[in-house]
Amino acid sequence: MSFEHLLFIVINNRFKHISHSHRFQTPIYVNMLCRNINQATHSAPFHKRARIIHWLPVFVLFFGVNLSNVILAQGTDIDQQQIAVQLSAVVQVSPPKITLRWKDITWGPPAYTKIYRKAKNTSSWGNYLDSLPYTSSLTSYEDLNVVADSAYEYRVTIGGGYTSCPLNAPNQTNSGGYIYAGINAPAIHRRGALILLVENNLSDSCASEIKTLMDDIRGDGWQIIRHNFSKTMTDVSIKSAILNDYTTHTNVKAVLILGHLAVPYSGDIKPDAHPEHQGAWPADVFYADMDGEWTDTSVTSINGTYAANHNIPGDGKWDQSIIPSALELQISRIDLSDMPAFSSSEVQLMKNYLAKDHAYKMHSINIRHRGALNDALPANCGEGYSANAYRNWAPLIGKDSITVSGYEYLIPFMAGTYPGSAGGYQWVYGSGGGTFDHCAGIGYTSDFVGKPNNSIFSMYFGSYFGDWNVQNNFLRAPLCQNPPTLTNCWVSRPNWFFHHMALGENIGYSTRLTQNNRKLSQDPFQDTTYSVFQNRSSLLVSVALMGDLTLRTDYIKPISNLVISTPSNNDVLLQWAASAETGVLGYYVYRADSAYGDYQLLTGTMLSSSTYHDLSATDGLKYYMVRPVKLQTTPSGTYYNLGIGITDSINISSTVSAIEDEGSSLGLSVYPNPSSGHININFTIQKSQNIIVEIIDIQGKTIFMEKTNQFQGEYSRNIDLSNEHNGIYCLLIYPAHTRLSYLHPPHFFEKL
Ligand SMILES: [Ca+2]
Ligand SMILES: [Ca+2]
């Protein structure tokens, strides 16, 4: 008999013993899993699973085996899918309609299905749109009270069935799902200002990679305020710099940390329910709360096993266990320091990370829009850990694109070593008993070495490793593999909500919603905006995103070869090569006065050509950006998806003129001016040449363009602009071989 078989029997017997006994259902275990800081303590007996989870790290720590089979062999409380309503949407423009669809819920069985709807920026759902008696065939809902070019957030709650879990008074099931569904939802042109904090050593050693990161972030609609800081700078000093930016700049929305800048610690918490792991945990949320009161005067917590978690008054670790006020800013960190399991240096790991980050945003790597999960922790009396995967992934990738990897280790599965798993998974979820560098059923930190996979967003849950500022930490490990996963987070305590990403929001947006998802009361079943069956640990200071918060789910290829010129006083001409993306509808052009400043949209409507004239620029150094746009279809409907903008600059001076002096000899006449729509254009070309005649509107959009080869003699056209809007137009006449000079100065006329 092998050692593993022996261990299996030992553990199996232990668990059987527990499951047939009430001796462990004592208040201490109720406390372990239930009583997080802001939650009510339950006097009801706690379920056996609490005990099993507690045992896991002990066995794993000493014996180092995969216990997922063992745990699953015990049977689960419920199928964790039952806790998540897996929503998707099909939309129609005319007449406008959103049809929600979901997978049937069977536990209970349920008594009712309720549909709620709200606007994105409100927190309350108000009264439901509809409440229907539950039937197993009720798996869709049509909303006809919608308009196109809009998006709506929905919640579907299916519940009222019976559950035997004693925690769920009055023993009623309650499954929920969320979706942000759009009918051609508008493009997101501006996302606000992002404060980029770079650790000094990385600033030098990764200079060009960080420049590319900044260009990509700017190209996604962010302004950037950058600081390089030392590792030794305190969290108080860093926070002070952030606060200064927040108050002196308008529209600051996010903080992104590169490297091992000071890690704030806060609270007296144990979200993984281990008494020996209680105390202060890493709390980057400290950097994202602009007006809450953070104190270091009251907490004394010194009974934990790990000195890093000890917290006493005046030691620089904050008292707060829950965030003292809602976070104003999105926050995330790319910290790849102290990861010796990967033989590469921190600098090389960062270079690898930023290279993948860039390639993903350029849509130059092939992403499989599907998810893989390995679910080694059972539901724990309705606390559905993997429900986080089902609930979020249905609106993002579709409920039919979710693969359960089974009892195998997830890391080699993702690396494509199993049938059908080649090509990777955009989303990954894994749960299992944990230590700082291990998640049972998923693998060890060291397992990520040499097993590249194509995943982008991951979420893992298990004991210990949510406390991430530790050598070879498992939560940071996926970001260190090569090529790396781009984000990771410790989901389930609390539950996370990523559904807005289906229509173009970035993962930092979802992170902040999750961090701010505030309870209405001490009732652990009641949250406000995103209510989930047994949402433990919400508002805790430990909720954090590892990786680049600006990341999104869908990127399209950018434009290339942007050339900017000034053919005349009044005109800045932009030309570019089209995006190679299939299905690009057109382009938007933006202008700013500084490289990473506020880019204003110049084109009110989308351009269909690859040329733009800016007639409104003033003198000085100007930065221009061009972004392609595509109508993206996702399991949440459709939205206008902007590619990363490409930028270049030009110095505009009104004393420079490049007009060829043939103008007067053309004998140009444009009449009537103003006109009501039909205008006549007449001029004469003396010397045979290829010419282009173009009319643009005041926004630079091309209204009319005609190229004529080997033209000589009189040019005469009557052009119908009666379907165009009223306003000022500009006529341009130039030789086809170059747009850098004109045959006549730009000629303005008006339509009334
Ligand atoms: Ca303290
Ligand atoms: Ca606040």
- The fold adopted by the segment(s) 560-652 is Immunoglobulin-like (2.60.40)
Q: What CA dihedral angle connects 475, 480, 485 and 487, to 10 degrees?
A: 50
| pLDDT in the model for residue 689 | 85
| pLDDT in the model for residue 168 | 61
Residues 6 or more apart whose CB falls under 8 angstroms from that of 478 comprise: 428, 448, 455, 458, 460, 484, 485, 488
Take residue 515 and report the two structure tokens written for it: 């961090």
304: CA distance to ligand 1 center in Å?
14
One-letter identity of residue 292: G
In this predicted structure, the answer to whether residue 84 has a pLDDT above a threshold of 80 is yes
Confidence band of 457 (pLDDT split at 50, 70, 90): very high
501-545 pLDDT per residue, tens: 999 999 999 999 999 997 655 444 455 788 777 777 888 999 999
Take residue 306 and report the two structure tokens written for it: 């790990």
Q: In the chain, what percentage of residues exceed pLDDT 90?
A: 63
One-letter identity of residue 185: A
| pLDDT in the model for residue 752 | 86
User: Does residue 655 or residue 4 have the better pLDDT?
Assistant: 655
Ligand nearest to the backbone CA of 296 = 1
Confidence band of 166 (pLDDT split at 50, 70, 90): low
Take residue 393 and report the two structure tokens written for it: 């992934």
327: CA distance to ligand 1 center in Å?
21
| pLDDT in the model for residue 709 | 86
Lowest-pLDDT choice from 73-77, 401-405, 602-606: 73-77
Percentages (nearest 5) of helix, strand, coil residues in the chain:
20, 35, 45
Ligand nearest to the backbone CA of 283 = 1
Lowest-pLDDT choice from 54-63, 559-568, 591-600: 54-63
Q: What is the mean pLDDT of residues 446-455?
A: 85
Phi, psi angles (nearest 5°) of residue 622 = -120, 140
| pLDDT in the model for residue 258 | 98
Q: What phi-psi label fits residue 71: left (phi over 0), alpha (psi between -120 and 50 degrees) or beta?
A: alpha
Ligand nearest to the backbone CA of 298 = 1
Q: What is the mean pLDDT of residues 86-115?
A: 96
Confidence band of 384 (pLDDT split at 50, 70, 90): confident
Take residue 48 and report the two structure tokens written for it: 């056996």
User: Does residue 377 or residue 274 have the better pLDDT?
Assistant: 274
Q: What is the mean pLDDT of residues 316-324?
A: 96
Cα gap 562→394, rounded to integer Å: 38
In this predicted structure, the answer to whether residue 573 has a pLDDT above a threshold of 80 is yes
232-271 pLDDT per residue, tens: 999 999 999 999 999 999 999 999 999 999 999 999 999 9
Cα gap 467→233, rounded to integer Å: 21
| pLDDT in the model for residue 220 | 98
Q: CB within 5 A of ion ligand 1: which residues?
A: 296, 311, 315, 317
| pLDDT in the model for residue 75 | 33
List the domain boundaries for the chain: 192-547, 560-652, 663-751
Place of tokens 């309350």: 124
Domains 560-652 and 663-751 belong to one CATH topology? yes
- The fold adopted by the segment(s) 663-751 is Immunoglobulin-like (2.60.40)
12-46 pLDDT per residue, tens: 332 322 222 222 222 222 222 222 222 222 222 22
Q: Is the peptide bond before 109 cis (omega within 30 degrees of 0)?
A: yes
| pLDDT in the model for residue 35 | 25
Q: By the 8 A CB rule, do 196 and 226 touch?
A: yes
Ligand nearest to the backbone CA of 315 = 1
Q: What is the mean pLDDT of the chain?
A: 85
Closest CA to 158 of 112, 125, 117: 112
Lowest-pLDDT choice from 464-478, 670-684, 730-744: 730-744
Residues 6 or more apart whose CB falls under 8 angstroms from that of 429 comprise: 371, 372, 373, 374, 375, 386, 388, 389, 458, 459, 460, 491
In this predicted structure, the answer to whether residue 49 has a pLDDT above a threshold of 60 is no
528: CA distance to ligand 2 center in Å?
17
pTM of the model: 0.82
Q: CB within 5 A of ion ligand 2: which residues?
A: 289, 291-292, 325-326
Helix or strand (DSSP H, E) at 6 = helix 3-19
